[in-house]
Amino acid sequence: VKKNPSEPEFHQAVKEVLESLRVVVEANEDKYRREALLERLVEPERQFKFRVPWVDDKGQVQVNTGYRVQFNSAIGPYKGGLRLHPSVNIGIIKFLGFEQIFKNSLTSLPIGGGKGGSDFDPKGKSDREVMAFCQSFMTELCKYIGADTDVPAGDIGTGAREIGFMYGQYKRIRGLSEGVLTGKGLSYGGSLARTEATGYGLLYLTQELLKINGLELAGKTVAVSGSGNVAIYATQKAQQLGAKVVTASDSTGWVYDPEGIDVAALKEIKEVKRARLTEYKNYRPNAEYHEGRGVWSVKVDVALPCATQNELLIDDAKALVANGCIAVAEGANMPTTLEATEYLQANGVIFAPGKAANAGGVATSALEMSQNSERLSWSFEEVDSKLQGIMVNICHNMSDAAEKYGAKGNYVVGANIAGFEKVAEAMLAQGVC
Ligand code: NDP
């Protein structure tokens, strides 16, 4: 805390991971201490902070701050998204980068951990303004990334449009047509099923987790928060698997649709019109729209937080438990506070942490990198079936690790240990670096 003041989200993420690694660390105490393994683990290998000037539609110059944190490359090139949101600061990027190390390790694919972004807000900006920002951002970022060194992707505020503008600028400056970004459009090296991957992956893992606990997803009522990339495809896959999703939200309000969320309407509002959820009632007159927060007050069997960090608080956890919720799986990164997580676990709720549950996005990004390297494109079915296999594998790995270390059913502990072990082994094998 003294070394990195004013980074509460980073401290929160480190605390959660280190606490759950206690058993493993105690078993290897002398070695880890001598090698300063944990001290190295929490210190990014490198971090960049840069000026991003761009001209708005009125001819006014605007200035944003850009970040890229290259956290850990022990098991492969840095990999992690770019977040564009006014709340972005170095502490947020570091928390996301730190989490990414273990998530990427859990996928069993050779990718290290990194994260980046800017305090730029794409909301309400014209396409030309977004392009001006993205080009300026990439003009600086391109010095530090590459297909074999660091491969950024999308995250909050960075979708296909932003990735396209950034990729165009990278190619223009570096003269390289390479898989330097993932989440690219299908016409220039993107992978089928990448758009759907995080939401679909979340449901594949949730379904498997319920199964190993003797439960079924089909027939369950589900609350989803958010209405962006992860939320939309989580809702779609949940419905395909026979569950009923009854909520959606954005940063101003939320929707309750007792007949089940209309995914086509959601996609049109958020992806095509880039509008607010207030519009949902125009498509579904029987649905309710409420200002503010409230998704977790609805009586559901399964809760899938898919918006942002710290959006499921202790009172929300209490409401979920009181309403008989049996499982919470995190589509977003760290959406549940530590206090809320502990309350859910103490009350018998099956809890799947984001680093396992939302790893489908980065896993499919790594599959996009493989396709770019071999200059081939795989079919939707091929990518989707690999994704499914990866999520089922993650589910079993975290469950087995929890059991092995005496914490059966504690998937936070299981995911952290399973992710950590491989990174620790690689770091120790590579010497002091
Ligand atoms: P999007 O930008 O597509 O959507 C984000 C959604 O969350 C929007 O509905 C947005 O509402 C809402 N939201 C954002 N910030 C806030 C806030 N401060 N308070 C309330 N609501 C908010 O992002 P994604 O769907 O891509 O990402 C969602 C989460 O999933 C993030 O935590 C991200 O890190 C994580 N994730 C994403 C992956 C991916 O592949 N996309 C992969 C793994 C994790 P509004 O429209 O009003 O801003």
For 208-259, the pLDDT digits (tens) are 999 999 999 999 999 999 999 999 999 999 999 999 999 999 999 999 999 9
Question: What would the pLDDT profile of 355-397 be if each residue is shown by its tens digit?
Answer: 999 999 999 999 999 999 999 999 999 999 999 999 999 999 9
Mutate to test the pocket of ligand 1, among 94, 155, 273 (most ligand atoms within 8 A of CB): 155
Asked whether the predicted pLDDT for residue 2 surpasses 90, the reply is no
Closest atom of ligand 1 to 158 CA is 2
Confidence of residue 409 (pLDDT cuts 50, 70, 90): very high
The two tokens of residue 319 are 């409401």
What pLDDT, in 10s, does the model give residues 15-28? 999 999 999 999 99
The CATH number of 42-178 is 3.40.50.10860
Non-local CB neighbours of 360 within 8 Å, separated by 6+ positions = 197, 198, 199, 200, 201, 202, 204, 205, 387, 390, 391
* Position 3 confidence tier, pLDDT thresholds 50, 70, 90: confident
Q: Quick one: pLDDT at residue 420?
A: 97
DSSP string, 142-187: TTT-BTTTEEEE-BTTB-HHHHHHHHHHHHHHH---S--SSS--GG
Give 175: exposed, middle or buried? Use CB within 10 Å, 0-12, 13-18, 19+. exposed
**Residues marked as catalytic:** 115
Taking residues 316-322, what's their average pLDDT? 98
Residue 342 has pLDDT above 90, yes or no: yes
Distance 430 CA to ligand 1 centre (A): 36
Judged against a pLDDT cut of 80, whether residue 1 lies above it is answered with no
| Same fold across 42-178 and 195-352 | yes
pLDDT band at 5; cut points 50, 70, 90? confident
What are residue 81's DSSP bridge partners? Answer: 153
User: What integer pLDDT is reported at residue 304 of this predicted model?
Assistant: 98
Confidence of residue 4 (pLDDT cuts 50, 70, 90): confident
Give the rounded percent of residues in the chain with a pLDDT score beyond 70. Answer: 100
Q: What is the pLDDT of residue 418?
A: 97
What are 65's two structure tokens? 């701050």
Do the annotations mark residue 249 as ligand-binding?
Answer: no
> Is 28 annotated as ligand-binding?
no
Provide the residue ranges of all domains of the chain, joining segments of one domain with +: 42-178, 195-352
Phi (first) and psi of residue 142, to 5 degrees: -60, -15
Mean predicted lDDT score pLDDT of the chain = 97
What is the Å distance from ligand 1's center to 160 Cα? Answer: 14
State yes or no: 365 annotated in a binding site. Answer: yes
How many Å lie between the centroid of ligand 1 and the Cα of residue 423? 27
CATH number of 195-352: 3.40.50.720
Element (H, E) at 256: strand 253-256
pLDDT digits (tens, 9 = 90+) for 266-276: 999 999 998 99
pTM over 0.90: yes
